[in-house]
A and B are shown apart, each in its own frame.
Chain A
Amino acid sequence: MKYLTEFRNGEIAQRMAREIHSVATRPWKIMEVCGGQTHSIIKNGIDQMLPAGIEMIHGPGCPVCVTPLELIDKALAIAAQPDVIFCSFGDMLRVPGTEGDLFQVKGAGGDVRVVYSPLDAVELAVKNPGKQIVFFGVGFETTAPANAMSVAVAKRRGIKNFSLLVSHVLVPPAISAILDSPGNTVQGFLLAGHVCSVMGYWEYPPLAAKYKVPMVVTGFEPLDLLDGIRRTVIQLEAGRHEVENAYERIVTFEGNRPAQKLLAEVFEVTDRAWRGIGMIPKSGWRLSADYRAFDAEERFHITGIHTEESPLCHSGDVLRGVIKPAQCPAFGKECTPRHPLGATMVSSEGACAAYFNYGRFLSAEELASAGSALSGVTNE
């Protein structure tokens, strides 16, 4: 497709990697926030093209992965009710709750449907006036405009049987939380290109200045990622900490103003618990007072939820960038995309799924020692 394949050119990628090698004099740890970028990095082997000291830390940017367990359990409870049609994006269906997942609810007779857009769920509400249609609205700032529009349309058209189970999360407070955490090792950030296509990047210069870390708005194709890493390393080596835009063909400083306007009307900022990470103040959106009538949590009043995570699953450490997926004892053994213990193994944006699907079964240390053993052989 146009403007995609051009940004996958292998020869230019080699030259970019060479430049990163020539610029880097010290080890640096760089976090890519977005799960889409994690997948592209692992799929394309971008991390393996970098100098040994440049480590990519995978951030908590998979919306499915950070959706709190309590909300998954609420989703399961709502979806199991008669007269409810529960709509969701496909990757939520296999996310494990305390007991089971949405697939199992569907198997037990629940009406669970996968939709492409939240507007499809609004149409279902129009066509099924005797049913309650609930849409599972999770995601970062990229998905929020779609969910906001679905509620705005439902309100405008007076659709009473549509509601949203909302768990929106926001990138800037998550970056603050990571940089504030005592054991933090991240020195630079690749900012999520598509989040910035909605929000722009005006929120980030104060963060870069406060924490003295460079941040580069970055796209998803191999050349985009290498350019984002290259620019971050150049800043780190020079001791600079600015916000740069390496995704100029999509992202502007101010972002999508019409979307931001509706988001400000439909949502308000709230504290949000992130699965595997914990409560981050002011890190989410919930429906504002004007739209609270469309909040599924208010409509269904689910109580008595007792959440319990799998004791084998280390997805919290993966989400915080403390371990790489292959370092989890359950990775590829008890936990696979077919039988996931944690959300990071489920989602198309989860780090564990990326490592599994692209054959990264060795830990970083094992990869490094395998690499040095190999070079020893070739030198002899």
Chain B
Amino acid sequence: MEEILTEGGLRVGWVDFGGIRKKVCLDYVPEVVVGDYTIVHVGFALSKIDEETALQTLEDFRAMGVLDQELESEEEAFARAAVAPQSSCPDGSCSTGVQKAVH
């Protein structure tokens, strides 16, 4: 959320969608202030992203399964590495490796 103003009796704001700026209606999210992240659907902000929860969820995801991998035997680790080379793709878009890995 970059800027908030009132227009035709509605609370509206300029939102940056990864480079593209668009004006959206903020009437349903009175709590949103400049700097917040929101979900926008057909020109309406519907929900503020709870950043603390988002970061906690990511933390939980990162921790998931790490322990399993640390505990696996060397033999298992080799077998896994052979069929599932670890991807360094930052956004997971190179997902063919992932798909092959589990089949």
The tally of CB-CB contacts under 8 A between chains A and B is 149
Which stretch of A99-107, A141-149, A176-184, A311-319 is in the interface? A141-149
- Rounded to whole angstroms, the CA-CA distance of A49 and B44 in the bound complex is 34
List the A residue with the shortest CB-CB distance to B18. A1
List the B residue with the shortest CB-CB distance to A116. B43
Whether B17 pairs with A227 at a CB distance below 8 angstroms is no
Query: Counting CB contacts under 8 A, is B73 at the interface?
Result: no
Q: What is the minimal beta-carbon distance from B13 to any residue of chain A, in angstroms? A: 13
Whether B102 pairs with A18 at a CB distance below 8 angstroms is yes
Tell me if A's interface is mostly helix, strand, loop or mixed: helix
Whether A18 pairs with B68 at a CB distance below 8 angstroms is yes
- Rounded to whole angstroms, the CA-CA distance of A145 and B91 in the bound complex is 32
Query: Counting CB contacts under 8 A, is A5 at the interface?
Result: yes
List the A residue with the shortest CB-CB distance to B66. A15
Query: Counting CB contacts under 8 A, is A371 at the interface?
Result: yes
Whether B65 pairs with A198 at a CB distance below 8 angstroms is no
**How many A residues touch the partner, as a band?**
35 or more
- Rounded to whole angstroms, the CA-CA distance of A259 and B45 in the bound complex is 10
Query: Counting CB contacts under 8 A, is A249 at the interface?
Result: yes
- Rounded to whole angstroms, the CA-CA distance of A21 and B50 in the bound complex is 30
Which of B43, B68, B87 makes the CB contact (< 8 A) with A11? Answer: B87
Q: Which residues of B contact A156 (CB under 8 A)?
A: 9
Contact (A10, B99) CB under 8 Å given A3-B37, A248-B50:
no
Q: What is the minimal beta-carbon distance from A43 to any residue of chain B, in angstroms? A: 9
Which stretch of A64-72, A78-86, A117-125, A161-169 is in the interface? A117-125
Chain A, 116-142, CB within 8 A of any chain B CB: 116-120, 142
List the B residue with the shortest CB-CB distance to A15. B65
Chain B, 49-103, CB within 8 A of any chain A CB: 49-51, 53-54, 57-58, 61-62, 64-66, 68-69, 84, 86-87, 89-99, 101-103
Whether A10 pairs with B103 at a CB distance below 8 angstroms is no
Query: Counting CB contacts under 8 A, is A194 at the interface?
Result: yes
Whether B46 pairs with A223 at a CB distance below 8 angstroms is no
Q: Which residues of A contact B98 (CB under 8 A)?
A: 10, 13-14, 17, 45, 49
Q: What is the minimal beta-carbon distance from B42 to any residue of chain A, in angstroms? A: 5
Whether B43 pairs with A258 at a CB distance below 8 angstroms is no
Q: Which residues of B contact A49 (CB under 8 A)?
A: 98-99, 102
Whether A249 pairs with B57 at a CB distance below 8 angstroms is yes
List the A residue with the shortest CB-CB distance to B12. A119
- Rounded to whole angstroms, the CA-CA distance of A299 and B96 in the bound complex is 53
Whether A10 pairs with B94 at a CB distance below 8 angstroms is yes
Q: Which residues of B contact A142 (CB under 8 A)?
A: 41, 46
Contact (A371, B103) CB under 8 Å given A249-B54, A250-B47:
yes
- Rounded to whole angstroms, the CA-CA distance of A16 and B29 in the bound complex is 33
Q: Which residues of B contact A21 (CB under 8 A)?
A: 102
Q: What is the minimal beta-carbon distance from B62 to any residue of chain A, in angstroms? A: 6
- Rounded to whole angstroms, the CA-CA distance of A60 and B73 in the bound complex is 45
Q: What is the minimal beta-carbon distance from B15 to any residue of chain A, in angstroms? A: 11
Whether A146 pairs with B99 at a CB distance below 8 angstroms is no
Which of A48, A116, A262 makes the CB contact (< 8 A) with B99? Answer: A48
Whether B92 pairs with A143 at a CB distance below 8 angstroms is no
Q: What is the minimal beta-carbon distance from B5 to any residue of chain A, in angstroms? A: 15
Contact (A10, B46) CB under 8 Å given A119-B25, A250-B39:
no
Which of A7, A12, A259, A375 makes the CB contact (< 8 A) with B103? Answer: A375
Whether B46 pairs with A197 at a CB distance below 8 angstroms is yes
- Rounded to whole angstroms, the CA-CA distance of A5 and B46 in the bound complex is 21
List the A residue with the shortest CB-CB distance to B61. A12
List the B residue with the shortest CB-CB distance to A371. B103
- Rounded to whole angstroms, the CA-CA distance of A145 and B62 in the bound complex is 35
15 interchain pairs, CB-CB under 8 A: A9-B61, A10-B87, A19-B65, A44-B95, A49-B99, A49-B102, A117-B44, A142-B41, A145-B28, A153-B8, A156-B9, A197-B46, A222-B92, A227-B61, A256-B46
